[in-house]
Amino acid sequence: MKPTLFVLAAGMGSRYGGLKQLDGLGPNGETIMDYSIFDAIRGGFGKVVFVIRKDFEKDFRDKILSKYENHIPVALVFQALDNLPAGFTCPEGRVKPWGTNHAVLMGKDVIKEPFAVINADDFYGRDSFAVLGKALSEMEGKKNDYCMVGYRVGNTLSDSGSVARGVCETNAGGYLTTVVERTAIERINGKVSFTDENGVVQTIGDNTPVSMNMWGFTPDYFGHSEAYFKEFLQENMSNLKAEYFIPLMVNKLINENIARVKVLDTTSKWFGVTYAADRQGVVDKIQVLVDAGEYPAKLF
């Protein structure tokens, strides 16, 4: 059975002010997401599931899904504030979504095979989908044995300012021991640097793996996520800004020796539009890849 690609796109409408400006960055108006789906198809994925907000379903079906229909099977699921486990109600005044791992939970009824999770607006690159597709195709029937693509931090920086990344530590076997969210990572005097919680500037090697929210799970992950989400809600119900993130769940599973996560290396260079000033650079980088024959000029 081929793995499924699960695309986190619920934040899209708010970020882009509706889907009309879903930014065309490729030579024929392709979006970053188009490249991810193209790469996933050639990386051996068999289906794409998108998690979106219900209020832009029609727009999404018309403008986005119609493109992929003859290329790969697609499905939609919806993230909503009131989509909570039995016995919980959304607190008054809550407007912030419940976070990336809540979005992942929305896929539990439609995904029954090993699956990858990605952000809609990150350009992950061909090699990363090939590496992840291969790993997932070998995970059929397994449990508590997950993976993630670890980007080399030097391949994920922005020329326009600092970035936040989940810096990964691994053991001798290449399994994740912890992910620590580091804000303000940038190149200073040629070295990749960040300021730690004590205000001290630390440098890390260019090949240090970081998480770009590109994960590989088997369906048992949904059960863990549901159970822990109830704990999370009990502890954070009164905090209107608390979010249930994927690394939170992953760290818990690792720390309690319930699951392990293999960190997969990739040569892909990540890029995305973190700052408005990044946009032209992304357009140029895609054009270079098209010129080099990595992608056709028109994807779909």
* Segments making up each domain of the chain, as ranges: 4-150+211-291
Taking each helix axis from N to C end, the angle separating 126-137 and 32-42, rounded to the nearest 10 degrees, works out to 40
Nearest to 116 by CA among 224, 41, 25: 41
Give the span between the Cα atoms of 210 and 226, in whole angstroms: 26
Residue appearing with tokens 């205000």: 199
Strand partners, 285: none
Sign of the Cα torsion 205, 211, 217, 222 reads positive
Give the span between the Cα atoms of 144 and 157, in whole angstroms: 31
Q: What is the pLDDT of residue 18?
A: 59
Give the span between the Cα atoms of 119 and 117, in whole angstroms: 7
Q: What is the pLDDT of residue 176?
A: 97
137 within 8 A of 3, measured Cβ to Cβ: yes
CATH architecture under which domain 4-150+211-291 falls: Alpha-Beta Complex (3.90)
Q: State the CB neighbour count (10 A cutoff) for residue 191.
A: 14
Q: What is the pLDDT of residue 180?
A: 86
pLDDT in tens, the chain (300 residues): 899 999 999 877 666 655 655 788 999 999 999 999 999 999 999 999 999 999 889 888 988 898 998 999 999 999 998 899 999 999 888 888 899 999 999 999 999 999 999 999 899 999 999 999 999 999 999 999 999 999 999 999 988 888 888 899 999 999 999 988 888 899 999 999 998 889 899 999 999 999 999 999 999 999 999 999 999 999 998 899 889 999 999 999 999 999 999 999 999 999 888 777 888 999 999 999 999 999 999 999
Taking each helix axis from N to C end, the angle separating 246-255 and 220-236, rounded to the nearest 10 degrees, works out to 100
Give the span between the Cα atoms of 194 and 207, in whole angstroms: 15
Work out the burial of residue 289: count CB atoms within 10 Å of its CB; fewer than 13 is exposed, 13-18 middle, 19 or more buried.
middle
